Amino acid sequence: MNKKRPQGNLRDNFAAIGWTLKKFFGFYPVLAPLSAFCILFSAVVAAIPSIFIQNVLAGIQNWVASGDWVSAKAEILPYIYLLIGLYALSIASLTLETQLMAVMTQGFLDKMRREIFNGMQDLPIRFFDSNKTGDIMSYFTNDIDTLRMLVSQTLPSLIRSGAIVLAVLAIMLYYSVWMTLVLLLGVLAMFYVAKTVGGGSAKYFMRQQKAVGAMEGFAQEMMNGQKVIKVFCHEEQSVEDFDKVNDELFAVSYRANAYASTLGPIISNIGNILYVGLALAGGVFILTGIPSLSLSGKLFDITVLIPFLNMSRQFTGNVNQLSQQINSIVMAGAGAQRILSLVNQQPEADEGYVTLVNVIEKPDGTLEETAERTGHWAWRHPHQADGSVTYTPLRGDVRLVDVDFAYVEGKDVLHDVSVYAEPGQKVAFVGATGAGKTTITNLINRFYDIADGKIRYDGININKIKKPDLRRSLGLVLQETNLFTGTVMDNIRYGRLEATDEECRAAAKLAGADSFICRLPEGYDTMLLNNGSNLSQGQRQLLAIARAAVADPPVMILDEATSSIDTRTEAIVQRGMDKLMEGRTVFVIAHRLSTVMNSDVIMVLDHGRIIERGSHESLLAEKGTYYQLYTGAFELE
């Protein structure tokens, strides 16, 4: 079962941010600390000019009092040169930091997208069946972008502003303890506002991330269903439904950004009030001669007050910068939490240890494993008890024994189903929609695992067979054809990547697709886009059959493989499929009973149970459900 989606509490968000930063520093154990050092250096350089300004002002004051410009110049110029040198180094460090962050940010996103996509390949089919495509796409777009903002903007801003705040605070304490305490009282007010307003925006930013995923999922669904929407004149209803989803996104986004937009001006004005208060307090200290508890031992005068006020402006400005990062942190936390929930999804379990290998048959009849493709396969079965290895020829003997299955616990889809398909047999399943026909083929592929019973393949429990090896031995042609961006040749070769062009053409001829492919503008080099939208439904299905043919599997599963093909094309395809099915075990699911008449065994399913089985002739003779379906007394739907 899938894990629950994140509920959006702050503790989980900060845990997700911690996971993200751990990943970031793990990817760049040298460059990330170096970049942080550059940020810290530039922050310190930004904080210390106030010290030198005080010394410059003191030098100017002495010059005015004494009129000795030579002595004043000797006192002032070293500080000016030092400032110039520090600022030059700061510019160099900032330049290095921006270049490092550009490399690390894009590299981090590249690695994260790879990790998410690679991990997604290991997820069970159940995950994709229970999540909208648009919502899954949101992980790669909206959610991953929040991580970009975190590592490229928020993290550097936190380090820079935090360092400046601490450095300036230390300098202000050095010059005047009392004045610094006045400043800190104002800062406490800033933090109170940031906590109150920022906490309000946090929950809405977390809801915004979920609402974006829902909106993208709805939009994706509507784009895929445009033909259905238009043919049923459902445009207005679609607009209304979209408006509901979009209005929800607007509502939470508005509230989140309203809080966020309010926070900055409030804190900025508190800083302005604080600046005035410090100026008044400093004037009182100077005029009354009240000691300001200076750790430097210097008298608090105008040469200290002016740089102190500048430092206070710098201090409150960076406190404001820190408070502004709250919203970015919350958004990043919501995105990181969603990505973490995806990464933590349980991968498809595979406890199998039996593998499919190429073999050659020796003169004495024994099988020997070989790395070369021989066209002969065997199951390599290691035995832990004595360490021996046996090779079972791949024949295509598939047996389901007393199988029970439910997609949702307590709602059985299959009950006590037993199917025996001997090598080379053609087994057909017929029945109404929802009877469990496709479910049986999903279990053979191990897209889902059975609740009870056994499935054996050439006498081996399929739970012992590694899933990739199991699926490599099975050819699958679905009712809904999926073609990928690429040439026609690429799409056929998808069935076996190492297949040659000649083998791909032979497969196309076998499927009856070669004639229409040759009539395409560029033949086998014709580019297919948007799931082969430039082809007819029947042509797309022919390519899917050719793709299965080039894989040359011993077992074929045809799930409504000809349902989208007209009667004339079906006759062409059927001849190709007859050749394709020769010597193979074939499972056929079809609503057109004409396509299953020549099956060795026909099984009639009803509500997850096999109620009849036999050949076409024997089932007609029984005059049961199949007879009534065939004669039109019952409808399959």
User: Where in the chain are the domains?
Assistant: 10-340, 355-393, 398-631
Q: How far is CA 6 from CA 136, 328, 331, in A?
A: 15, 18, 14
Q: Which of 254-258, 275-279, 535-539 has the lowest mean pLDDT?
A: 254-258
What does the pLDDT average to over 349-361? 90
Across 162-166, 234-238, 565-569, which has the greatest mean pLDDT? 162-166
- Pseudo-torsion of CA 625, 626, 632, 635, nearest 10°? 70
Place of tokens 């820079």: 160
Give the global pTM. 0.71
pLDDT score recorded for residue 564: 61
Helices 235-288 and 177-224 pack at an angle, to 10 degrees, of: 170
Question: Helices 567-581 & 501-511, crossing angle to 10 degrees?
Answer: 120
Three-state DSSP string of 54-86:
HHHHHHHHHHHHHCCHHHHHHHHHHHHHHHHHH
For residues 212 and 218, give the distance between their C-alpha atoms in angstroms, rounded to a whole number.
Answer: 10
Give 455's strand partners: 400
Which pLDDT score, from 0 to 100, does residue 5 have?
Answer: 42
Strands (E), 270-397: 355-361, 367-370, 377-382, 389-393
- With 70 as the cut, is the pLDDT of residue 176 above it? yes
Answer whether residue 532 shows pLDDT above 90. no
Residue 4 has pLDDT above 60, yes or no: no
Q: What is the dihedral of CA 505, 511, 514, 516, to 10 degrees?
A: -150
Handedness of CA 449, 349, 2, 213 (dihedral sign): negative
Percent of residues, the chain, with pLDDT higher than 90: 20
Residue 292 confidence class, pLDDT cut points 50, 70, 90:
low
Q: Regarding predicted confidence, which is higher, 405 or 223?
A: 405
Confidence of residue 62 (pLDDT cuts 50, 70, 90): low
What integer pLDDT is reported at residue 139 of this predicted model? 86
pLDDT (average), residues 590-609: 84
pLDDT tens-digit series, residues 477-511: 887 778 888 899 999 998 888 899 999 999 998 88
Rounded distance between C-alpha atoms, residue 276 and residue 272, angstroms: 6
Confidence bin at 541 (pLDDT 50/70/90)? confident
Backbone angles phi, psi at 387, to 5 degrees: 75, 5
- pLDDT at residue 467, as a whole number: 92
Q: Per the structure block, which two tokens stand in for 192?
A: 């109170």
* Phi/psi at 5 (5° precision): -70, 155
249-253 mean pLDDT: 82
Query: How many Å separate Cα 149 from the centre of its chain?
Result: 17
What are the counts of helices (DSSP H) followed by strands (DSSP E) for the chain? 21, 16
Residue 426: count of CB within 10 angstroms of its CB: 20
Q: Give me the helices (H) in 122-234, please.
A: 125-129, 133-138, 144-149, 155-175, 177-224, 226-231
The fold for domain 10-340 equals: ABC transporter transmembrane region fold (1.20.1560)
Question: Among the ranges 53-57, 310-314, 477-481, 506-510, which has the highest mean pLDDT value?
Answer: 506-510
Return the minimum-mean-pLDDT range out of 208-212, 231-235, 270-274, 390-394: 231-235
Mean pLDDT of 296-305: 68
- 185 Cβ contact partners less than 8 Å away, ≥ 6 residues apart: none
Chain segment 369-412, per-residue pLDDT in tens: 888 888 788 999 998 878 889 999 998 899 999 999 998 887 88
**Both structure tokens of 600:** 């060795």
- Containing 612, the helix (H) or strand (E) segment is strand 609-614
Which of 113-122, 153-162, 166-175 is predicted with the least confidence, judged by mean pLDDT?
166-175
Count of other CB atoms within 10 angstroms of residue 1: 8
* Mean pLDDT in residue range 173-191: 80
**C-alpha–C-alpha distance, residues 318 and 164, integer Å:** 7
Instruction: Judge contact between 167 and 307, C-beta under 8 A.
Output: no
Chain mean pLDDT for the chain = 82
Fold topology of 398-631? Rossmann fold (3.40.50)
Query: With helix as H, strand as E and coil as C, how does 594-610 read?
Result: HHCCCCCEEEEEECCEE
**Confidence class for position 1, pLDDT limits 50, 70, 90:** very low
Q: What is the mean pLDDT of residues 268-284?
A: 81
